[in-house]
Every structure is written in structure tokens, then in C-alpha cells.
A and B are shown apart, each in its own frame.
Chain A
Amino acid sequence: MATARVNALYVRRRARNTIAKSLAYAAAAFGLGWLVLILAVLLFHGVGGLSLSVFTQNTPPPGSEGGLLNAIVGSLAMTLLAIAIGTPIGILAGTYLAEYGRHDKLSSIVRFINDILLSAPSIVVGLFIYEVMVAPMGHFSGYAGAVALAIIVIPVVVRTTEDMLRLVPDTLREAAASIGLPRAHMIVRIAYRAARAGIVTGILLAVARISGETAPLLFTALNNQFWSLNMNAPMPSLPVVIFQFALSPYEEWQKLAWTGALLITVTVLALSILARSLTARRT
């Protein structure tokens, strides 16, 4: 009798274990399935529209064929400017956190605030820039878009720079100090060099993050149907064009939206994989 009960318990535990394990396998398949599904759909819808005209023609008026040239150029311009603004600030702030104020009170506050900025809703950043740049200037502009993106770049770069500088062994710093190298020179010549791959990874991740950002651009850079390199005027960008075209009833526009979506996804995934492989080789 007793053994029967023990056996029943044993069988039940085994069964529960098997069920849980199968669920875990199923969950993993579910997660991977979505990645595959999303990529497959993107390829299916996007590749068809991929042609040379996408890169040589501007966004068309409703109901006619065209390309995405002005949107691609606008995205590139704003991304470059955002990186140019955000990276130096991010690296310097990360340097302070890792080198000068590793344990002081200011650093722990800034670390916390940086983490909040890192995951803060990007649309709020758009609102902020609208209030401090677009409204005073009186018009939407590529500059406003770039600054909004820069605010998203900064926390990413701060975080990775600090993490990577912390991986640099203190013995290197002490060796530099022992030959009389001032701290700033030790940081620039030794610590930055040792952490270079990691810092570059952070910048790449930041580029990946902002090249798909739409929300902060909606009411800062707005959009522009035409070819424009004037950053003081409304500027088109790939994500905003996708947003506008996908929600439109015109078939040509929807097709271009899919193609644009494919371009962005390929860029972003390539950047994140590149970033990973940079650090993977190091560690």
C-alpha cells in the first residue's frame, strides 16, 4: 500500500517535470519562432520592392512609383549629427563615473538617472525637444530631430563606457601613475586604448538604437516629401516615412514602407551583431 502511494507520487513528480520541461522547450521555440516569423515576413514583403530606384528616387506623391532616397539621406544626416553630439558627452560622463567619481555620491545619483534615461519612453524625449527647440524656433527642423536622437544616444554610451572602463585592470592605472603620468593622460592614453573595443561597441549599439527610432522624430524633424539637406528645415527620415506610408491607403506607399522596414531591420541587426562580435573577441 505504502509503496503504491510512493510510486504514485513518484510518477506524478516525473510527469510534472516532463510537462514543465516541454513547456520550457515550447517557450524557447515560441520566442525563436517570432524572430523567424518577423524576419520572414519582412523579407517576403520587402525584397519584392527592392530595386535601384529605391536608392535613387525621392518619396513619391500618392499613387505613383518612387524611392526612399531623401528619407535615407535624412536618416543618415540626423543619425550622424546625433552621434557627433551624443558620443563625446556620453564618453566623458562615463569616464567620470568610472575614473574620477567611482564611489562618490554624485556618481551613484548620475548612474541611477542615466538608467532611467536609458529606458525612458522615447516619445517623452520628443515632447521635451518640441518644447525647448521646435516651439522657440517656430518650425520643425532636422537639428531638433538630431538633438532628440542625441538624448537617446547619451545614456547608452555612458553605460557602456563606464562598464568597459571598469574592466580595465587597476594595475595598468597604477603603472601609469608610477611613471608620473597625470590622470587625464593615463585615461586617454591607457584606459581608453584598453577599452577601445567596448566603447566602439557602445557607439554601434547607440547607432542601432536610434536608426529605428520614430517617436522622438515625429514632432521634431517632422517629415518632408522632397529632397532636402537643409537641417534647419523639416527633414524626412526612414522610420517616419515608414509610419506615414504604412498607414496610408495607397498600395505603392505601403510597398515602399515594407522595403524601408526591411532596410532598417537589416541595418539594425547587422549593427547589433557587429557590436557583439567586437566584444566577444575580446573576452
Chain B
Amino acid sequence: MSEVALNDTNVTAGAGVTRASALNRLRTTDVAFRTLTRIAVFTVLALLSGVILALIIGSVPAFKAFGFGFVTTEVWNPVTEKFGALAPVYGTLVTSFIALVIAVPVGLMIAFFLTELCPMWLRRPIGISIELLAGIPSIIYGIWGLFIFAPFVQKYIQPFLIDTFDGVPGLQDVFAGPPYGIGMLTAGFILAIMVLPFITSISRDVFDAVPAVLKEATYGLGCTTWEVFKHVILPYTRVGVIGGVMLGLGRALGETMAVTFVIGNAHTVSASILAPGTTISASIANEFTEAVGDLYTSSLIALGLILFVITFIVLAIARYMLLRLQQKGR
């Protein structure tokens, strides 16, 4: 528009009219653009409310039929049309828990390596490589897990676990059963690899934000690198690290394709993590297109609603934690 402004100043006679119309045009486009951006913002708002609303409406028949017992019932029988969410909810929580048990220590150690130990010139390439893990589509993890990882787990890891913990009270039930290869442990492990990059990159960012003076002061006292990490860096960045972990948890809870391949899709609650199970997202992915009858469909949508509520809470906590850290940094 600068050309318009320049042209206008060069015209002297009769400039008033053209100037006024040009100004009018500018004002209209200005207001129009502003309105457009506002509409876009409200679209984003409408999307989330739309998702929540659609899920609630869709799950009404299921909750009407089963009440809140839906969440605590294990039965999942399409033939008799009895549905309960306990097995998928249990599977979702267990696989995500396994994923975190593995990914949190490893992710933190990688972040420790990247911020404190790694030579400067290697930091960027290694950091990017780890982040590329997050970019690999989940279906790739699925096909890889099914054909490569599950047979490996079946042949080596599961027999080893079963033998090792056989006879140990408590633990023998957790690691019980025939080695299927697929199951909750395998799914949890693949989830761990998938959430690793999230935990690593957020931890690295918050570790990098620790003031160098603090670290130097601790080194000055004669502390080792590990002690600096454990006693200074970790406590200082605790909130951010928890935020990162929650973000990873949010991912693990909702992850669909990778889990669907290796979970086994069995609607049972079993104490053994080697047993096949199912998760909310895997049930939906496996059964939705084949679901006949409104109640079946509605039960699957109700599962979706439960998943959405759980991830919403987890992600909200994550955002709150990370936000608190940002404000502290200011």
C-alpha cells in the first residue's frame, strides 16, 4: 500500500476524492482482515468444543444403557451387546506406565548427556537425530514392532522374564504366562521409544536454561558432574521436567497405530504384563468400522470420550507446569 500513499502525495489537484476513496479502501481491507483472523481464532475454539460435544452426544446411548458401571465393567461382548470399558482403560494406563518407566530415566540421561557431556559440535546432530524419532509415523513403529520386535521379545525377553521371576511372590504374577511376543509389555516398550524424544527435547531445553553461574559455583565446591546434575540441575528444573514427562504421557495415552499392531486386542484385564490386552485407541481402531448396532458404536465413542478426558487432564497439567516454569524464568 505504500505505493498508494506515494502516488497520492504527488497528485495535488482533485486529490481529496481519490485520497478519501483510497483511505476507505484501506480501512475496509484492514477491518476485513482483522475480522478474518478473529473468525479463525473462533474456529480453533469451535473445533475443541465440537470434538467434546460430538463425543458426549455420541456416547449418550452407551452411558444410558450401562450407567457409570460402564467404566468399571470388564465384559466386552458384541454378540450380547454388553460393553464395559475397564479392560481398555486398564490397558491404556498400564502400557503408558510401562512406557514412562522406561522412557523417563533414559530420556533424562540423554538430556544429561546432551547438555553436560557431549562435545559441542556433536550436540546439534545428536539432538536432531533423537528428535527425528518423534517424526517417524506411528504406523512405522507398528509394522516394525509386529514383524521385528515382537518375535524378538517372544524368543528372548519374555522367556527370560518368566524364568527369572518364577516363584518370586507377587512378581511371578506380573511376569506370568506363555510368551506370546505381542502384549502389554511389548506395546509399552514401543511407546517408550515413541515418547523418548518428547521427554528428551523438553528436558534438554530446560537443562540448558539453568544459569551457568549456579553450575560453576557447584563445580567450584568440588562436586562431580553427576552431583551437579543431581543436586543442582534436576531440582532447579523439576517443574519443567515434570511438564515434559506429562506431555510424553499424553502422547503415550492416545497413541493408536503402534499399539494396535502389538497389543493383541484382547478385552481382558490380566495381572501379567506379558499377556495380550487392549487399549482405548486400539479398540476403537480395530473395531469401529466393523461395529454393527448403535450401542456398539456408541460404546466405542464413549471409550473415545474417556480417552479424551484423561489426555485433556494430563496435557492441561503439562501445560500448567511448563507455563509456571516460563513465568519463573522471566
Contact = CB atoms under 8 A, between A and B. Distances in A.
B282 to A, nearest CB: 9
A21 interface: yes
B97 interface: no
Contacts of A247: 146, 261
Interface stretch (B61-69, B127-135, B208-216): B127-135
A172 B26 CA distance: 20
B11 interface: no
Interface in A22-56: 23-28, 30-32, 34-35, 38, 41-42, 45
A181 B1 contact: yes
B1 A38 contact: no
B55 A124 contact: yes
A272 B108 CA distance: 24
Interface in A249-263: 254, 257-258, 261
Nearest to B49: A113
Contacts of B236: none
Interface in A81-104: 88-93, 95-97, 99-101
Given A31-B133, A264-B137, A21 B226 contact: yes
Interface in B103-120: 105-107, 109-110, 112-114, 116-118
A33 B40 CA distance: 42
Contacts of B112: 20, 24, 27
A242 to B, nearest CB: 6
A115 B315 contact: yes
Interface in B17-62: 26-27, 29-34, 36-41, 43-45, 47-48, 50-51, 54-55, 57-58
B81 interface: no
Interface string B138-156: 1111111011100000000
A15 to B, nearest CB: 10
A239 B140 CA distance: 9
A16 interface: yes
Interface of B: 1-2, 5, 26-27, 29-34, 36-41, 43-45, 47-48, 50-51, 54-55, 57-58, 105-107, 109-110, 112-114, 116-118, 126, 128-130, 132-133, 135-144, 146-148, 193, 196-197, 200, 224-227, 229, 247, 250-251, 253-257, 260-261, 281, 284-285, 288-289, 300-301, 304, 307-308, 311-312, 315-316, 319
18 contacts: A21-B117, A31-B129, A35-B132, A38-B140, A45-B147, A91-B40, A96-B41, A97-B41, A99-B37, A121-B254, A121-B308, A123-B281, A123-B304, A127-B300, A131-B57, A154-B47, A215-B285, A264-B139
Q: Please list the 7 inter-chain residue pairs (A to B) with the smallest Cβ-Cβ separation, ordered nearest first.
A: A212-B137, A121-B254, A92-B40, A184-B33, A27-B109, A17-B224, A96-B37
